[in-house]
Structure 1
Amino acid sequence: MSALQPRPLPSGGAVVASPKPATTPLQKIERQYHKFLAKRYMTFMSRVALWIAVLLSLSSIVVSGDISKVPFAILSSFPVSLSLAFLLRVRKTFVTRPYRPLPRPSLISLVISSFWNRRVITLLFSYTVFSITIANVWCALLAREDMALFNSTPRHPWQLNESRFILTASNACLFLAVAARDILSDNLKADWPRERRPFAQAVKTALLDNIWGSSRIGFTFLWSISAPFAYCWLGLRSFVWQWVNWRLWGVAVRQNNRPFLGSFARSTSKTPGPWALLGPMLSLNMLTLLILQFPVKGLIAYITQPIHFNEFYRKSPLSLETYLITALKSQDPYYLQFTLMELLRVISIPRCRKIFFDDISKSPSLISQLCQELLLQFGKVHHVLINRGAAIQPQSSQSSPVDFSPISTTPDERKIPVRQADIFRPLAKPKSTVNLKSVLDGPIQASTPSPVAKLAQAGTLAIKHVESVQDQVVGRIEGNPVGDAIVSEAKGARKNVNEWAGKEWGRRSVRSVLGEVLVAQRVIEILVILSVASIEEDIYGNVQQVLPAILEAIVRFREAIFALEAQLLVQTRLLGPAQSGAVDEIKKDLHVAISSCDKAVRRIADIFGQSLSAFKFPPSVAYGLGEICKG
């Protein structure tokens, strides 16, 4: 057997570790954003934990009248706080990474796709965990014998307490319904502020907004008073447990669960009555709603309100102007919103604008760099719009700047003078290679065969006959007062369902291709402020050199929105009864962006007046400018 030979040590001294890549200025800026927002979020969660502890302590005192339960209530608030933190974190992701499902043609596919998604399922799971946790904590705080975890019998010593089981299940079902309503009602979207206000005032406004008019209060109250009677008196109890025992579980599973759910399927002396369930269920559901409602309302304010940049400016080696220009290169739409809000605040201050306008220390100047980055971000939104949702693949901040202009043929769009506005110009259409004469001189299409035509005619007559019979049956039902009420309710429900389906289809169709419309609106607003101020403040005329590109960008963006609207309106013909809701939603969403473009062009035209005639525009852009100014 040969002996093992030791491996020789590598020569050349110690191994030198490869140096870490240098952190770019953009990465440092995004790290500052992340740290500030994380600190604000932790402050929010600490206040949520305090809110839960106070509510549980007060409710335990009110229900039991025993102040000695306060320490136990405070300890019990920790699992509730953890479960609510999980729920709020999941809801937060719908703001930082917006959820934009694709439109579906049918009602059933719209409903299924609204819930059959990993993120939505996680949200529903978080609501279930929170509601089950708060229900068990509340029953433990009550310390009542009829709300204990187990309700032992001689035959089943480990049988669960049916009252507690029903309270927990009812609470979970209720808030699953609340979560489903939020999903279907589009309540998960970000509500970004349009005006700057003190942070405390913004949070207070969000918390008190529609607090008593919320439909959740009425829905929770109605659920709490109807569920006990439906369970005990309407046969729901026996139906549910018999179905669970004999349909849902197999024989082996049924034998294993019988010690825990032994007598749930039959009435015994320990079977809870509706009046015994009414009080605990009402108090539990209202307490859960109170704990949940205010944190959910405050969450949006804490994650969307403008952040304070003064501390960032002090710690950064970059100047204020260079800091903002660098931050505009971020590929994260969530961080970009904060940059645009801060930039909008800065350029609204004349002394801060003056620094941008008066800079001639280098080429390109600060104002040229700023307009360049703004137009590139605008071009990114325009690119997604004209390509119907095909987003540009983001690159890491370590790499070179992202190419936002697949239309231009030059190697680097950032070297193109922004006054050319090439990133907004459409691709040249290739010449058709089809021989028109051969198409026109081709064989004539055969007419529809006679049997097929007769079959189609018979099908049309059959449909008309069925519709006439249906109208007669409905007319007879409406002749009865009770039947008339039922038919009216059914028609109203059907109308509401079709209206929701149309609006949901319209929202999805618009957001899938124009999800970052707020970025475009803020960029337009910033460019308009700079253009208007350049009349008196831009002594070197840098902005006026870029002004044709700004106007051309706005007009082409507006034309792309009109093209999208026309395309979507044609597609709504396939929706049937949901068409009217889809048309209204599409026009409402798109006309907000169109209105911002029109206002921007008119404001610039009012300030510059006849001076705009000195600029040269492509014919289509010049026509668009004329139409906007005439309107």
Structure 2
Amino acid sequence: MSNGAARPSTPMRAITSTLSTRSAPAVPPATQTYEPLVKGVLRHRLLYNILAPSLLYSWALANVWSNWSQGGFAHLGLWGSLVDCISPLTLTQAAFIWLLGVVPALVVRNRFLTATSTPASSPSKMLSAALTKRSTTYALATYLVSGVSLVAMHMLLANFYEPTPSGHPRFSLFVKSRKHPFYVNGRVLYMLFSQITLAFTYLLRTVLLDRFAVRWTQIPAESDAPEKYPFRLARVVTTLITIGLFVGLSTIGYTVLFGLVRSIALPLVYALPYASQFIRPFTAHFLRGPWTITLLVRNWSLVWRTFFVGVTTAACWEFAESPLDETVTVAQATADPALTLVSGITSTDGFFKQFAYAELNHFASEDSPAAGARRSALFADQKYNPNLWTCLCRESLLTLGKDYQLFLRKGEAAPAAAAAPAPPKPATPLPAKATQLIRAPILKGSPTSPLRAALDTLASDGPLSTAVATTADDAASHIPELFRSVMHASPSAERAVEAVQKSEERVVGLLEETRGRWQEGLGAVVKSRAPQPVLALAGDVGHWWTRERVNRKVEMSLPNRRLDALVISVLCHLVCASLTEDRYGVVQRDIPKILEALLSFLSAIEEYQAEVNKLHVPLTEEDIQQLPVKELAQKERLATEVARAGEVLGEVGDAVKSGVGQIARTFGDKLAAFKFPPRIAQKLQGYVDYA
């Protein structure tokens, strides 16, 4: 047989195998699966539930102002009013009201919206915390520009709509005077500064109410049905009443302030040496006018106009806020709802995390065969590493653990980690002692002269130079390497630096001492001159401004209580469902640590609740009759704060009690198969006995 016949016709190759080890992928992040879906829903709500109704509201405002400026329905008639509603000028005015009033406030709120409230226990601390945020600066600039733009547009349109001499509003920048052409129109100043004052007061209201934080209202015990009509009639009427009262108080305060500036502050400014020369060509006519009270009566229509412009402006800002705590349902539209929701709870943004847990709570508590099948698929999932249940349980316990640690610290920030001690420096071996050279001649020679010996001593390698160099090297060896380049600097520089530092400290201390003396002196003058009712009112206002509220302290300890309640509800519902729907028992291994985490949180809440309850002792009828009215009011206010603090603690405590009780009723005696710490077992036994 030839060699060619023995050779195979096709080359041999190894058989491919599909049994090679492949690592399972991790659960995709929320930025890829969940957050884009929620943003799409919110974008749709913004367009159809907020922007469109606000545009309709702006058109209604433009019609009201246009009809009022032209004499109302009695002057225009039915047909004239209908034509005016769709006139180009009215539509243009509506567009400007929407662009200048609603859109800026909506943009700045959505830009700086946060899911966590500001940690502050008093109005003064709330304002101090707000002043450190960028959102406060941007909001103030937005309100100022929006308010001034709206009032400028109103004055321009008023000059156009009201041209008759009897009803002309006279909104021109300067007073029409041939002798004094640069006198500023006081009516224009009053309108402009009223909007500036309104911007500051509205910002203060926004800060004190913490309007840049979402007010979560959906809790597991309530209905999960979202509010479909955020601009419904009841909300509109309530908002208009609130804004009317707020703008009314703001207008009254601003009118009083404007009168004081015109009557007291402006004459004092004119008394200054050089200030009157600069402002006299523009404001001299203000000093020659009638009394402020008489001027107020004569210009009462201007005050009413200012009030209605303020209501229009504040209502635009108020309706720009949307109820963003409504639940969002996006997982049902995806191929794997469980994966979408588990991925959503891993979001680093608390806003999306809240939405994900709210939808996951409905997923875990729904009672239907389809829902049971979806939960069984979640428990049995092995396509991801870690699997869906492990990822869900770990993320939920981490969320509860962070809030539990914050609760134990009573809302205080975590202490800074101690710096690691520097490693000890290795011991430097002592250098070997150098062998000294013998400078004396080895061979006995003729004795040298005294002059030759002196020259050898002073030479560069002589004994004197060697001793000086050795001493300098020994001194430099004790100086760090970083400072060896400046070790020859003059010590006077160090003394100068110390003197400058001491001078700075002395100046700062002197300024603090001077400010304290001025405050004490001014306070003494005010107390000696001001009437007693005014001092009492100022004291009450100052006490209200700085007093720490008990319920606010508790809220600082539980800033994410609505999210914690949702997390607890999700875990407890899934644990109860695992008894019949978990075919492989993946949930049972995590039941002990889940119950331990929940009951530890509950114990801390009960301890804090007992501590808060000690702050208020219920009053007897005898105490109510004997206590002064002021002290009795303080006791009642404290009782109200303690009750509100109990409600805050109860949001998480009631969720834990309900969830653990549900687990105890579901598992019953089967819980004896798990091992718990003695403290947790004793607390859990009460739920089992009750069940």
Q: Same fold (TM over 0.5)?
A: yes
Alpha-carbon distance change, 325 to 239 in structure 1, aligned in 2, over 3 angstroms: same
1:551 maps to what in 2? 595
Alpha-carbon distance change, 145 to 373 in structure 1, aligned in 2, over 3 angstroms: closer
CA drift at 1:332 = 0.7
Matched, 1:360 2:360: no
Matches of 2:689 and 2:538, distance apart in 1:
44
CA contact under 8 A between 2:247 and 2:307: conserved in structure 1?
yes
2:567 maps to what in 1? 523
Matches of 2:374 and 2:415, distance apart in 1:
33
Equivalence map 1:86-235=2 (5 Å)? 86-93=104-111, 95-96=113-114, 98-102=116-120, 112-113=128-129, 115=131, 117-143=133-159, 144-186=168-210, 188-194=212-218, 195-204=223-232, 207-208=235-236, 210-211=238-239, 214=242, 216-221=243-248, 224=251
Secondary structure of 2:170 counterpart:
helix
Matches of 1:528 and 1:310, distance apart in 2:
21
CA drift at 1:166 = 0.7
1:57 maps to what in 2? 63
2:42 maps to what in 1? 37
1:615 maps to what in 2? 674
Secondary structure of 2:676 counterpart:
coil
Number of equivalent positions: 501
Matched, 1:597 2:664: no
Q: Kindly name which structure, 1 or 2, has the bigger radius of gyration based on alpha carbons.
A: 2
2:32 maps to what in 1? 28
Matched, 1:331 2:348: yes
Matched, 1:292 2:317: no
CA drift at 1:386 = 4.0
- Residue by residue over 1:494-541, the C-alpha shift from the partner in whole angstroms, topping out at 9 and shown as x without a partner, is 66764664455752x445443222211111111122233334433444
Alpha-carbon distance change, 204 to 614 in structure 1, aligned in 2, over 3 angstroms: farther
CA drift at 1:269 = 12
CA drift at 1:330 = 0.8
Alpha-carbon distance change, 357 to 620 in structure 1, aligned in 2, over 3 angstroms: same
Secondary structure of 2:285 counterpart:
coil
CA drift at 1:220 = 3.0
Matches of 1:229 and 1:166, distance apart in 2:
12
1:309 maps to what in 2? 330
Matches of 1:379 and 1:270, distance apart in 2:
62
The higher relative CO (CA closer than 8 Å, separation ≥ 6) is in 2
Matches of 1:552 and 1:229, distance apart in 2:
61
Alpha-carbon distance change, 200 to 42 in structure 1, aligned in 2, over 3 angstroms: same
CA contact under 8 A between 2:561 and 2:651: conserved in structure 1?
no
Alpha-carbon distance change, 137 to 492 in structure 1, aligned in 2, over 3 angstroms: same
RMSD: 4.3
Equivalence map 1:459-498=2 (5 Å)? 498=543
CA contact under 8 A between 2:118 and 2:129: conserved in structure 1?
no
Paired AA for residue 72 in structure 1: L
CA contact under 8 A between 2:389 and 2:587: conserved in structure 1?
yes
1:74 maps to what in 2? 91
CA drift at 1:168 = 2.3
Matches of 2:245 and 2:115, distance apart in 1:
32
CA contact under 8 A between 1:328 and 1:339: conserved in structure 2?
yes
Matches of 1:102 and 1:236, distance apart in 2:
34
- Residue by residue over 1:234-287, the C-alpha shift from the partner in whole angstroms, topping out at 9 and shown as x without a partner, is x6522243355567xx947x6555444342333179999324533343244234
TM-score of the aligned structures, taking structure 2 as reference length? 0.61
- Residue by residue over 1:33-73, the C-alpha shift from the partner in whole angstroms, topping out at 9 and shown as x without a partner, is 33443443344234423422331232221232366695334
Alpha-carbon distance change, 54 to 209 in structure 1, aligned in 2, over 3 angstroms: closer
Equivalence map 1:567-606=2 (5 Å)? 580=638, 583=642, 586-606=645-665
CA drift at 1:112 = 4.6
Matches of 1:593 and 1:82, distance apart in 2:
42
Alpha-carbon distance change, 554 to 298 in structure 1, aligned in 2, over 3 angstroms: farther
Alpha-carbon distance change, 55 to 202 in structure 1, aligned in 2, over 3 angstroms: closer
CA drift at 1:163 = 0.9
Secondary structure of 1:263 counterpart:
helix
Identity percentage over the alignment? 22
CA contact under 8 A between 1:389 and 1:514: conserved in structure 2?
no
Alpha-carbon distance change, 173 to 361 in structure 1, aligned in 2, over 3 angstroms: closer
CA drift at 1:119 = 2.8
CA drift at 1:335 = 1.2
Equivalence map 1:320-399=2 (5 Å)? 320-349=337-366, 350=368, 351-358=370-377, 360-362=380-382, 366-386=388-408, 388-390=411-413
CA drift at 1:607 = 2.9
Alpha-carbon distance change, 329 to 285 in structure 1, aligned in 2, over 3 angstroms: same
Secondary structure of 2:224 counterpart:
coil
Alpha-carbon distance change, 209 to 271 in structure 1, aligned in 2, over 3 angstroms: closer
Alpha-carbon distance change, 172 to 381 in structure 1, aligned in 2, over 3 angstroms: same
After TM superposition, the structure 1 stretch with the greater mean CA deviation from structure 2, 489-498 or 340-349, is 489-498
Matches of 1:132 and 1:499, distance apart in 2:
32
Secondary structure of 1:341 counterpart:
helix
Alpha-carbon distance change, 268 to 490 in structure 1, aligned in 2, over 3 angstroms: closer
Paired AA for residue 54 in structure 2: V
User: Which stretches in structure 1 are left out of the alignment for 5+ residues?
Assistant: 1-22, 394-482
Matches of 1:512 and 1:55, distance apart in 2:
41
- Residue by residue over 1:374-401, the C-alpha shift from the partner in whole angstroms, topping out at 9 and shown as x without a partner, is 32333333344345554799xxxxxxxx
Matches of 1:570 and 1:245, distance apart in 2:
59
CA contact under 8 A between 1:80 and 1:133: conserved in structure 2?
no
CA drift at 1:320 = 1.7
Matches of 2:217 and 2:124, distance apart in 1:
35
Paired AA for residue 273 in structure 1: L
Matches of 1:493 and 1:229, distance apart in 2:
17
1:237 maps to what in 2? 262
Alpha-carbon distance change, 121 to 555 in structure 1, aligned in 2, over 3 angstroms: same
Matches of 1:585 and 1:184, distance apart in 2:
18
CA drift at 1:337 = 1.2
CA contact under 8 A between 2:375 and 2:581: conserved in structure 1?
no
